[in-house]
Amino acid sequence: MSEKTLRKIQSFVKRSGRLTEGQKYGLKELWPQYGIDPKDNCIIDLDTIFKKKQDVILEIGFGNGNSLLEMAINEPENNFLGIEVYEAGVGRLINEANKNNLTNLKVIKEDAVEVLKHNIATDSLSGFQLYFADPWHKKKHHKRRIVQTEFMSMMSDKLTKGGFVHMATDWENYAEHMMEVLELHPHFKNTLNAHIYSLRPERRPITKFEKRGERLGHGVWDLIFTNEK
């Protein structure tokens, strides 16, 4: 798969709908404080956009932002950069971040693949998080899954050596796909032995979605790898 193909195949559906007043306030009034508008082929200076110069952890597809918000609150020693196209989730996260006076959280509302290609510097991220991404469960749609070899090669380039990759999904087939892609990739190493999934680390909050799945008997698979490039 070429970069051109990777760019054309979108791994997300851009949802729209009615926004609450709080979400509108976050998207409009608070955007200058928390939002980043990447410019074409312009690298974002992560050392200057945050109040403190510290490790930056990237999360793609944060949904309504609950877990990312909790992490940013619990880990003031880290900076968090979230990328999401779901406007309601973006607005909600920004509004809640403002209520909690967070200075270690920034948000981008664009296609993550394009942002990584053109706006994120090599060796600039200490971690990458992908929680409950769209599994595109139909076989004919598997090509839309964001976790592909080409995407992970690009992510390896953006991560520092030793940087972590943490993924979680409640779809067993997608978990197996993630495991295969990561274990076959020459730059990533499972923090556990081969083919072994990780227990959910305490730092990853349990979402309402995940709790509901557990009540229904759904499994959850966590994968934690390090970048060994």
Say yes or no to pLDDT of 10 above 70.
no
- Is residue 5 in some structural domain? no
pLDDT in tens, 189-207: 999 989 999 999 999 999 8
Q: Tell me: do 116 and 158 sit in the same domain.
A: no
φ, ψ (nearest 5 deg) of residue 218: -80, 145
pLDDT digits (tens, 9 = 90+) for 146-158: 999 999 999 999 9
Calpha distance 116→196 (Å, rounded): 29
Angle between helices 87-99 and 21-28 (to 10 degrees): 80
Report, as residue numbers or ranges, the catalytic residues.
134
Is there a single domain that holds both residue 103 and residue 152?
no
User: In the structure, what pLDDT confidence band is assigned to residue 139 with cuts at 50, 70 and 90?
Assistant: confident
The reported pLDDT for the residue numbered 13 is: 54
Shared domain for 156 and 202, answered yes or no, is yes
List the 221-227 sheet strands across, edge first. 35-36, 105-108, 79-83, 56-60, 125-131, 159-169, 221-227, 188-190
Q: What is the pLDDT of residues 73-130, one digit of tens each?
A: 999 999 999 999 999 999 999 999 999 999 999 999 999 999 999 999 999 999 999 9
Q: In a 10 Å sphere around its CB, with 0-12 CB exposed, 13-18 middle and 19+ buried, how is residue 82 labelled? A: buried
Residue type, 55: D
Per-residue pLDDT of 14-52, as tens digits, reads: 655 689 999 999 999 999 999 999 999 999 999 999 999
What tokens appear for 130 in the block?
Answer: 């992908």
For the segment 50-57, the average pLDDT, to the nearest whole number, is 98
**Which one of 97, 120, 143 terminates a domain?**
120
Q: What's the pLDDT band for 216 if we cut at 50, 70, 90?
A: confident
Range of the domain at 78: 33-38+51-120
Total domain count for the chain?
2
Check residues 217 and 10 and name the one with the higher pLDDT: 217
Q: How confident is the model at residue 141, as a pLDDT?
A: 73
Is it the case that residue 8 has pLDDT exceeding 60? no
- Non-local CB neighbours of 63 within 8 Å, separated by 6+ positions: 84, 86, 89, 132, 209
Position 7 pLDDT exceeds 70: no
What's 153's domain CATH number?
Answer: 3.40.50.150
What are the residues facing 205 on neighbouring strands? none
Residue 180 contacts residue 215 (beta carbons within 8 Å): no
pTM: 0.91
CA dist 102 → 71, 91, 99, 161, 220 (Å): 11, 15, 8, 28, 29
Going through the chain in order, the beta strands assigned E by DSSP cover 35-36, 56-60, 79-83, 105-108, 125-131, 159-169, 188-190, 221-227
